[in-house]
Amino acid sequence: MKTLRLILGDQLSKSISSLNDAKSSEDVILMCEVWDESTYVKHHKKKIAFLFSAMRHFADTLQHDGYKVEYIQLNDKENTGSFYGEVKRAISRYKINQVIITMPNEYRVLNDIKTWEKKLNISVEIRDDDRFLSTPEEFATWAKKKKQLRMEFFYREMRKKHHILMQNDSPEGGQWNYDKENRKPPKRDLKIPKTYEQEPDKITQTVIALVNQQFADHFGDTEPFYFAVTRKQALQALNLFIQERLSHFGDYQDAMLENEPWMFHSHLSFYLNCGLLLPLECIKVVEDAYYEKKIPLNAAEGFIRQILGWREYIRGLYWLKMPDYAQENFFNAKRSLPEFYWSGDTKMNCLRQCVLETQKNAYAHHIQRLMVLGNFTLLTGIHPKYVNEWYLIVYADAYEWVELPNVTGMILFADGGYLASKPYAASGNYINKMSNYCKNCNYKISKKTGEDACPFNYLYWDFLIRNRDKLESNQRVNMLYRTYDKMDKSKQKQIQEDSQKFLEQL
Ligand code: FAD
Ligand code: DLZ
Ligand code: SF4
């Protein structure tokens, strides 16, 4: 039986289930750079360069281990440009009898693969992706009959299931969640260590040249390029995070500073999402660091919650709710994405900083994505379709399974409250408290209305007023309407006029 094993760009793990029983003497492993995947949205140049380089390095590793790897480069003459076309070609070239693949992480790709068996008249086995710590079926059982889903309760189940930070049946330290200790504003004299940096090797340099040539009209910069592109390097990046940043991760998780894109975050999502790192190994090293007394509990729990809780919860939600989730638009938002999301050309300093950092790094940390870039799209009523597309394009860690629930559920509340109990809407006060962006802004954070007032301040109220019929019955939002109703009528009028003017010129 001659088997073709297809490895997708986000399946770069030697332990991937499709390779479990691979025979190096007989089987063919297929990896392909295809036009369809690079252009179904116009991914950030650095994202494509990163993934192609990581794929080429991974193919080399498998070859070195003795496997027969068929690696199709983007510019290969015969490249058909699609997974299906390349599988079909490989089947005829190698006289293949069956295809094995690990379940892809995107609904779009899974749907395509499900048609292959019939079209190719060959057995196509789709295996579970056991790199994740819960299965879509397990999540669906947990979610059954719940009207609203809450990450916190799912996370507790995952802590128990994997026995992470547990003392028998109780959470380490007596509490499940130390989120309240994760909201320190940034101190002026914070010393932030450099992120992991890796000089581009020959493979990466070749790929950067390819991307600059083939995807010149895509958003973003290829250089400087410093990402890890091999498993060994990704492990070094993990190690560096544990040594230098993790102890402050919890404290400054929500903090933002001008010209400091990396803060105390891990910058590991790129590697986790393409398979160079495995979620459980990251969780385990952090748990060990806590028990070895190298880091405080709020740092360990805060980080583990992100991977064991949020990451798994988001993935479960994606598979539970697709394909309908991609169409959700609770507020009936209609606006197009402002041009400055691509250029950074805005007088709002917080947004300018976050867009320019995204353009350069294909990275922004969670609070920049949520409370600056995301908050603005929520308040101004940008259509979820455009917001989802932007987030899928611009971040090197973006794949639909993780991007879509974060955008549709978390920032836009477009699912009507299935993921979040209330919209993450905020005025400029939040940004001012958690960052130093407002100091260098053309707008005045202290002003609530008027020409030079911070737009977030009036847009926040305008959003609430516009969507009163949908939000007033929400107990966590309700009191805001009482505050608004008590406001001076002239102030209410001014809020609406300022907002209208701002939105018109948007
Ligand atoms: P850290 O802050 O160091 O967190 C550690 C890890 O926890 C991350 O690497 C990630 O694997 C996981 N994690 C944390 N929060 C989440 C979350 N909400 N959902 C899933 N995993 C999480 N993350 C992506 O991996 N891909 C995306 O396309 C993506 N899009 C997002 C869009 C929006 C609007 C928002 C608000 C969040 C998005 N996130 C996404 C989640 C989160 O912002 C990133 O995982 C994080 O910023 C990556 O940087 P880091 O590795 O330094 O994370
Ligand atoms: C994101 C991406 C890009 C840009 N290019 C490729 C590619 O050429 N070949 C490939 O195998 N994978 C690529 N990927 C990642 C896929 O989009 C991802 O594996 C699927 O969407 C399943 O999650
Ligand atoms: Fe952003 Fe408003 Fe602060 Fe300017 S004043 S940086 S727009 S929050």
- CATH number, domain containing residue 161: 1.25.40.80
Quick one: which ligand is closest to 266's CA?
1
Q: Residue 189 — very low, low, confident or very high, per pLDDT cuts 50/70/90?
A: confident
Q: Domain holding 33: CATH number?
A: 3.40.50.620
Residues 408 and 356 in one domain: yes
459 lines ligand 3 (CB under 6 A): no
Final residue belonging to a domain, choices 264, 286, 321: 321
Which positions ≥6 away from 188 have C-beta within 8 Å? none
Residue nearest to atom 13 of ligand 1 (CA): 306
Domain containing 101 equals 3-127
438 lines ligand 3 (CB under 6 A): yes
Q: How many CB atoms lie within 10 A of CB 139?
A: 22
CA of 118 to the centre of ligand 1 (A): 37
Task: Give domain status of residue 205, yes or no.
Answer: no
Q: 167: burial class by Cβ within 10 Å (0-12, 13-18, 19+)?
A: exposed
Pairing of strands 170-171, 166-167: antiparallel
Residues 475 and 353 in one domain: yes
Quick one: which ligand is closest to 350's CA?
3
CA of 270 to the centre of ligand 1 (A): 9
Residues 10 and 155 in one domain: no
Task: Give domain status of residue 454, yes or no.
Answer: yes
* Token duo for residue 427: 């005025």
Interval 52-98: pLDDT, tens: 999 999 999 999 999 999 999 999 999 999 999 999 999 999 999 99
Instruction: Describe the strand order of the beta sheet including 98-102 as a list of residue ranges.
Output: 68-72, 28-32, 3-6, 98-102, 123-127
Residue nearest to atom 20 of ligand 1 (CA): 311
10 lines ligand 2 (CB under 6 A): yes
CA of 34 to the centre of ligand 1 (A): 26
Residue 325 has pLDDT above 70, yes or no: yes
pLDDT for the residue numbered 479? 95
105 close to 129: Cβ distance less than 8 angstroms: yes
CA of 348 to the centre of ligand 3 (A): 6
φ/ψ of residue 72, rounded to 5: -100, 120
376 lines ligand 3 (CB under 6 A): no
Residues 104 and 146 in one domain: no
3-state SS string for 143-175: HCCCCCCCHHHHHHHHHHHHCCCEECCEEHHHC
Task: Give domain status of residue 428, yes or no.
Answer: yes
3-state SS string for 482-495: HHHHHCCHHHHHHH
Residues 28 and 111 in one domain: yes
Best residue for ligand 2 mutational test, from 5, 46, 51, 83 (most atoms within 8 Å of Cβ) = 51
Q: Residue 181 — very low, low, confident or very high, per pLDDT cuts 50/70/90?
A: low
What share of residues in the chain are helix, strand, coil (percent, to 5)?
Answer: 55, 5, 40
pLDDT for the residue numbered 1? 85
Interval 439-468: pLDDT, tens: 999 999 999 999 999 999 999 999 999 999
Which positions ≥6 away from 155 have C-beta within 8 Å? 176, 177, 305, 308, 309, 310, 313
For ligand 1, which residues put their CB under 6 angstroms from it?
265-269, 272-273, 303, 306-307, 310-311, 314, 365-366, 369-370, 374, 391, 395, 397-398, 402-403, 406-407, 410-411
Interval 254-309: pLDDT, tens: 999 999 999 999 999 999 999 999 999 999 999 999 999 999 998 999 999 999 99
| Segment 390-406 mean pLDDT | 98
Residues 70 and 35 in one domain: yes
399 lines ligand 2 (CB under 6 A): yes
Task: Give domain status of residue 217, yes or no.
Answer: no
215 close to 50: Cβ distance less than 8 angstroms: no
Torsion, CA 277, CA 212, CA 42, CA 360, rounded to 10? 60
Residue nearest to atom 8 of ligand 3 (CA): 428
Q: How many CB atoms lie within 10 A of CB 302?
A: 21
Q: Which atom of ligand 1 is nearest to the CA of 395?
A: 28
Task: Give domain status of residue 231, yes or no.
Answer: no
Residue 353 has pLDDT above 80, yes or no: yes
Which positions ≥6 away from 407 have C-beta within 8 Å? 374, 384, 387, 388, 391
pLDDT higher at 236 or 190: 236
- CA 72, chain centre distance (Å): 27
Task: Give domain status of residue 67, yes or no.
Answer: yes
Interval 131-177: pLDDT, tens: 999 999 999 999 998 878 899 999 999 999 999 999 999 999 999 99
Euclidean distance between CA atoms 327 and 383, whole angstroms: 10
456 lines ligand 3 (CB under 6 A): yes
Final residue belonging to a domain, choices 80, 100, 127: 127
Count of domains observed in the chain: 3
Q: Which atom of ligand 3 is nearest to the CA of 454?
A: 2
Residues 361 and 392 in one domain: yes
* Token duo for residue 301: 């729990």
- CA 67, chain centre distance (Å): 32
Task: Give domain status of residue 226, yes or no.
Answer: no
Among the listed residues 34, 25, 301, 348, the one whose alpha carbon sits nearest the alpha carbon of residue 171: 301
426 close to 371: Cβ distance less than 8 angstroms: yes
CA of 437 to the centre of ligand 3 (A): 7
pLDDT for the residue numbered 145? 81
Quick one: which ligand is closest to 349's CA?
3
Quick one: which ligand is closest to 302's CA?
1
Residues 350 and 298 in one domain: no
- CA 349, chain centre distance (Å): 23
432 lines ligand 3 (CB under 6 A): yes
Q: Domain holding 379: CATH number?
A: 1.10.579.10
Residue nearest to atom 6 of ligand 3 (CA): 438
Euclidean distance between CA atoms 453 and 270, whole angstroms: 37
Q: Which amino acid is at 441?
A: C
Quick one: which ligand is closest to 82's CA?
2
Residues 442 and 468 in one domain: yes
Euclidean distance between CA atoms 471 and 466, whole angstroms: 10
Among the listed residues 364, 362, 404, 367, the one whose alpha carbon sits nearest the alpha carbon of residue 387: 404
Residues 293 and 405 in one domain: no
Best residue for ligand 2 mutational test, from 10, 111, 392 (most atoms within 8 Å of Cβ) = 10
Interval 110-135: pLDDT, tens: 999 999 999 999 999 999 999 999 99
Euclidean distance between CA atoms 49 and 71, whole angstroms: 16
Final residue belonging to a domain, choices 104, 127, 150: 127
Q: What is the mean pLDDT of the chain?
A: 96
Q: 445: burial class by Cβ within 10 Å (0-12, 13-18, 19+)?
A: buried
Quick one: which ligand is closest to 352's CA?
3
Residues 174 and 98 in one domain: no
Residues 107 and 164 in one domain: no
Task: Give domain status of residue 390, yes or no.
Answer: yes
pLDDT for the residue numbered 182? 65
| Segment 184-202 mean pLDDT | 90
CA dihedral (155, 159, 164, 169) positive or negative = positive
